[in-house]
Amino acid sequence: MTPPHALDAHLRIDRGTFRLDLPLTAAPGEVVALLGPNGAGKSTALRALAGLLPLTEGHLHLDGTALEDPATGLHTPAESRPVGVVFQDYLLFPHLSALDNVAFGLRCRGADKKTSRAQARPWLERLGLAEYTESKPRALSGGQAQRVALARALAVRPRLLLLDEPLAALDARTRLEVRAQLRRHLAEFEAVAVLVTHDPLDAMVLADRLVVIEGGQVVQTGTPSEIARHPRTDYIARLVGLNLYQGTADGHTVTLADGQKLATTDELTGPAFVAFPPAAVALHRTRPESSARNAWQLEVAGLDLHGDQIRVDLTGELPLTADLTPAAAAELDLAPGTMVWASVKAAQTRAYPA
């Protein structure tokens, strides 16, 4: 009896000259990322889903229940929606301890002080914050605060989890670690999660599906690899055009599921992502004699002009995309079906814990 889409929404919001027009559906357990540049309408969409901003038109159904329908005047206020939000800068209540922050939503739903605290404690423990229950938010690090915010949003057992730039407030080092943890928690989350970000890497690592929006309109949707391989606008090509692979790391080598090995200068062990930009790929007619250990013979599947670059889509043992200058492409005499050697320096790859 599960409805085909746990989340079934069409968000239409008119604000002066700006118009958001965003159809959005998601299956239970799916993580959807709204990706787009600043001002694209991502946050507007998130606020609309949370009930903080009314829809002008469209509808919003969650688990088969209508939460909002401007045509009938239905608008379920934020406090009555089964929705949890992790805000960009977390917005932990500064006067409450971590435990009371997590217990806040439970208390608002009628639990007494003692019960709500008892129910909140396991959430903090699950997120590895057992020893920080009594800490005030200002005593927490950025990563800890982010996890408290996540615990607070999850504690009310939402049917829709919204995350607004969940990693933007973190410094680069914490970000890697928190991103990996967040990915695990999102994977465990059984309901729909919608993530808003302007960072393609966050989107690709955390989400099952990307919805790219520009100027309030959807410009592309698909899985991270689909979008990376077939960007439809310059913006996506520039930002999302990233070769991304998942595998298992052991020192400087990441082994992918199909046995392909990728060399990287980052050292780590366990599940990992490896990524490198198309511009880092060099193409050769013959097998390169350079020191690059990452070299594969691949077939040109397609050529596209993106700005002043030519994007080459390659298939074979390791599908990837490469960006070339028109001059280099002409010199190589590339056409669909051409066999070329592709190489990437280990120093130009990035490996992240998965």
Partner 1 sequence: MSPAPPTAAAPDTAVSSRTRARRRSARIPYALLLPALLGLAFLVLPLAGLLVRAPWSSLPGQLSSTEVWEALRLSLICATAATGLSLLVGVPLAWLLARTDFPGRRFIRALVTLPLVLPPVVGGVALLLVLGRNGIIGRWLDSAFGITLPFHTSGVVLAEAFVAMPFLVISVEGALRAADPRYEEAAATLGASRLTAFRRVTLPLIAPGIGAGAVLAWARALGEFGATITFAGNFPGQTQTMPLAVYLAMESDPEAAIALSLVLLAVSITVLAGLRDRWMSTP
Nearest-5° angle of CA 346, CA 351, CA 354?
Answer: 155
- How far is the C-alpha of 147 from the C-alpha of 103, rounded, in Å? 14
CB 233 within 8 A of CB 213: no
Q: Which is nearer to partner 1, 191 or 322 (CB)?
A: 191
Smallest separation, CB 181 to partner 1 (Å) = 16
Q: Which is nearer to partner 1, 123 or 245 (CB)?
A: 123
Q: Which is nearer to partner 1, 194 or 254 (CB)?
A: 194
- How far is the C-alpha of 111 from the C-alpha of 38, rounded, in Å? 39
Smallest separation, CB 155 to partner 1 (Å) = 9
Amino acid found at 217: Q
Smallest separation, CB 78 to partner 1 (Å) = 4
Read off the DSSP letter of residue 285. Answer: S
| Residue burial 48-74, b: 16+ Cβ < 10 Å; e: rest | bbbbebebeebbbbbbeeebbbbeeee
- How far is the C-alpha of 231 from the C-alpha of 269, rounded, in Å? 31
Q: Which is nearer to partner 1, 163 or 342 (CB)?
A: 163
Q: Which is nearer to partner 1, 78 or 256 (CB)?
A: 78
Smallest separation, CB 326 to partner 1 (Å) = 31
Q: Helix 142-155 crosses helix 113-126 at what angle (to 10 degrees)?
A: 130
Q: H/E element holding 83?
A: strand 83-86
Unique residue bearing structure tokens 């401007």:
70
- How far is the C-alpha of 327 from the C-alpha of 329, rounded, in Å? 5
Q: Which is nearer to partner 1, 142 or 319 (CB)?
A: 142
Unique residue bearing structure tokens 């960007």:
231
Q: Which is nearer to partner 1, 126 or 136 (CB)?
A: 136
Residues at the interface with partner 1 (CB under 8 A) = 50-52, 77-81, 83-85, 87, 89-91, 93-95, 104-105, 108-109, 137-142, 145, 152-153, 156, 167-172, 175
Smallest separation, CB 154 to partner 1 (Å) = 11
Smallest separation, CB 87 to partner 1 (Å) = 6
Smallest separation, CB 84 to partner 1 (Å) = 7
Smallest separation, CB 79 to partner 1 (Å) = 5
Output the six-digit token pair for 56. Answer: 């002008």
- How far is the C-alpha of 79 from the C-alpha of 224, rounded, in Å? 33
To the nearest 10°, report the CA torsion of 155, 156, 160, 165: -50
